[in-house]
Chain A
Amino acid sequence: MITEFSGKRITDLISVIPSKISKFDDEIHNYSFTREQSIKLKNILGFDQHRIVSNNTTASDLCEYGFRYLVDQKKFRPESIDALIFISHSPDHFVPPTSSILHGKLNLKEDCLCFDINHGCAGFIVGLQQAFMLLNNKEINRVALMNGDTLSRKTSIKDRNSYPVIGDAGSVTIIENDPLGKPLKIFTKNRGKDAMVIRIPAGGFRTPSNNKTASLHSDGDGNFRGLDNLVMDGGSVFSFVQAEVPNMIQELIELNQISMNDIDYYILHQPNKFMLEKLADKIGVPYEKMPNNIVENFGNSNSVTIPLNLTFNLSKELLGYSPNKLLLAGFGVGLTWSGLIWEMSSLKSCEILEFDDNNG
């Protein structure tokens, strides 16, 4: 599906990472593989270090920290927020919505819509789309989009397929109506029949957690995880991405009647380094136009990889005067794949904050 919008603008973009760094070299002893095998994978997939929350820090804590920073910087007044969207697989509780908790903590006005959306890898684009639809209502002029995940707490440390790549992070994106905002089209597709390809099998109402779901078992490939843990069918995810993402990018290029060279940067969700290099090779994009260093520096933080990529690699460009033509694309959990090409005007904020959750 293609949805069309115009007159929208991101004014402020903040990523928040926990201060704790966990290094792959220090985790190798957790895995039942030879050191040589693990080092090979480290180089190929980009495992190096990832950010992990400590204690009981939640995704909402990271987002709250980012929002308060913007308010302290007087970028906007909290009472000017007309809608809050929280996108995560890591809610504080099943009930109430985490967006309601954030609404209360941040002292937002009662005339403010709150939504929790359970989404992952495509969640930043899904969030933008939701924000744009809300902003088409005349009552809504400013939306706070908060993306966050702390899935390290749901990933087995003895699972080399998942744990080294997972990172925790949050982001806050402030989106407004802007008459000068350029028209844009968002591509979105869903394939629910493959929804269980990326899953946490237990912990919901279908399979509640218990001692049995918490116990680790071998997957036959040398990884140990429980039903309470995140599991990804790597081969299926890889095939899906390599088949569908190039088609989506091609369709977006055609819809916008431009060429691949007209895009300044390709900012894609980053499952791992290998997958993105293969995508770049296939669609013929130079590596320097597709920043691919989020996994090795921070880990894959689901819907936060795109804002983290923007704040880590492009803050200078996005804070500058000249607009940047960006292709943003997320893909994974759902299975959902979504993207857009957007000539983004200058941001007022674009930075990464570190959250010290030992003292936070």
Chain B
Amino acid sequence: MKEKILKILGDIRPEFDFNESDNFIDDGLLDSFDIVTLVSELDSEFSISINGEDISSENFATLTTIENLLKVYI
């Protein structure tokens, strides 16, 4: 799962190394529109529909938080 998430993140913002960040939002790797793109890609990749209320900066701050969120749906 981690590799798939990293691949999607890399496609959205290829200029950043997501392994080097402790917080994608605070470090400026993802803005709110990137999160929208990420949610759409994750929905499609994992055949899920992430609940709108779960689309918060906290849930998309690190690989671990994204993984934990996906586990709720998969």
CB distance B37 to A235 under 8 Å?
no
Residue B12 contacts which of A37, A222, A239 (CB distance < 8 angstroms)? A37
CB distance A238 to B32 under 8 Å?
yes
CB distance B35 to A235 under 8 Å?
yes
Question: Shortest beta-carbon distance, B31 to chain A, in Å?
Answer: 4
Chain A interface size, as a band, is 20 to 34
How many angstroms from the CA of A278 to the CA of B37 in the assembled complex? 13
Q: CB-CB < 8 A to B36: which residues of A? A: 41, 44-45, 274
Q: Which residue of A lies closest to B37 (CB)?
A: A40
Please report whether the interface of chain B is mostly helix, strand, loop or mixed according to DSSP: helix
Question: Shortest beta-carbon distance, A21 to chain B, in Å?
Answer: 23
CB distance A235 to B57 under 8 Å?
yes
* Interface: B40 (CB within 8 A): yes
Q: CB-CB < 8 A to A234: which residues of B? A: 32-33
Residue B33 contacts which of A161, A242, A279 (CB distance < 8 angstroms)? A161
* Interface: B53 (CB within 8 A): yes
CB distance B32 to A278 under 8 Å?
no
**Total count of chain B residues near the partner, CB < 8 A:** 17
Interface residues of B in 28-56 (CB under 8 A from A): 28, 31-33, 35-37, 39-40, 49, 51-53, 55-56
Number of A-B contacts defined by CB within 8 Å: 53
Question: Shortest beta-carbon distance, A49 to chain B, in Å?
Answer: 19
CB distance B51 to A282 under 8 Å?
yes
How many angstroms from the CA of A243 to the CA of B37 in the assembled complex? 20
How many angstroms from the CA of A44 to the CA of B37 in the assembled complex? 7
How many angstroms from the CA of A281 to the CA of B37 in the assembled complex? 17
CB distance B31 to A278 under 8 Å?
no
Q: CB-CB < 8 A to B31: which residues of A? A: 221-222
CB distance A242 to B53 under 8 Å?
yes
Q: CB-CB < 8 A to A281: which residues of B? A: 49, 51-52
Q: Which residue of A lies closest to B50 (CB)?
A: A278
Listed in ascending order, the chain B residues whose CB lies under 8 Å from chain A are 12, 28, 31-33, 35-37, 39-40, 49, 51-53, 55-57
Minimum-distance CB pairs A-B, first 6: A242-B52, A278-B52, A234-B32, A221-B31, A235-B32, A44-B40
